[in-house]
């Protein structure tokens, strides 16, 4: 437990920090959303799948080419859904419960 003098000094330091670096204080309080890196590996995976779909289509395997193209499109759509503006990054659940 802090003494009265230590509590006063701590409050003074907190006020000074809020004046000097409000961005840091907002991050520590959790006011700003967490920035996530873009999942480049998933994008590269989609590109490889689309290339495979193109190659399968050239060789005449239309069914496999269609399936691969659909999966590549699904991956890119999922990336776009995750990165859409206005989405709450702190809640990873895409379908939060509605009460």
Q: Are residues 8 and 22 in the same domain?
A: yes
With a cut of 90, say whether residue 71 has pLDDT above it: yes
Number of domains in the chain: 2
Q: Are residues 41 and 31 in the same domain?
A: no
Confidence label for 65 from pLDDT (cuts 50, 70 and 90): very high
- Please report whether residue 62 resides in a domain: yes
Confidence label for 97 from pLDDT (cuts 50, 70 and 90): low
Query: Each residue of 2-60: pLDDT tens digit?
Result: 888 988 898 898 889 888 888 887 777 765 555 666 678 888 999 999 999 999 999 99
DSSP string, 64-97: HHHHHHHHHHHHHHHHHHHT-TT--TT---SSPP
How large is the average pLDDT for residues 55-79? 94
Q: Are residues 46 and 20 in the same domain?
A: no
Distance CA 2, CA 24 (A): 24
| 24: number of Cβ within 10 Å | 11
Q: Are residues 30 and 15 in the same domain?
A: yes
Q: Are residues 61 and 31 in the same domain?
A: no
Domain around 57: 37-86
- Please report whether residue 31 resides in a domain: yes
């Amino acid at each position: 437990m802090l003494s009265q003098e230590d509590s006063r000094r701590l409050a003074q330091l907190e006020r000074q920090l809020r004046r000097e670096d409000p961005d840091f204080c907002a991050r520590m309080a959790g006011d700003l959303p967490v920035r996530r890196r873009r999942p480049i590996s998933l994008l590269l995976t989609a590109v490889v799948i689309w290339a495979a779909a193109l190659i399968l289509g050239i060789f005449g395997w239309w069914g496999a080419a269609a399936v691969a193209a659909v999966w590549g499109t699904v991956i890119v759509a999922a990336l776009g859904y995750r990165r859409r503006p206005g989405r709450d990054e702190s809640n990873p659940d895409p379908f939060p419960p509605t009460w």
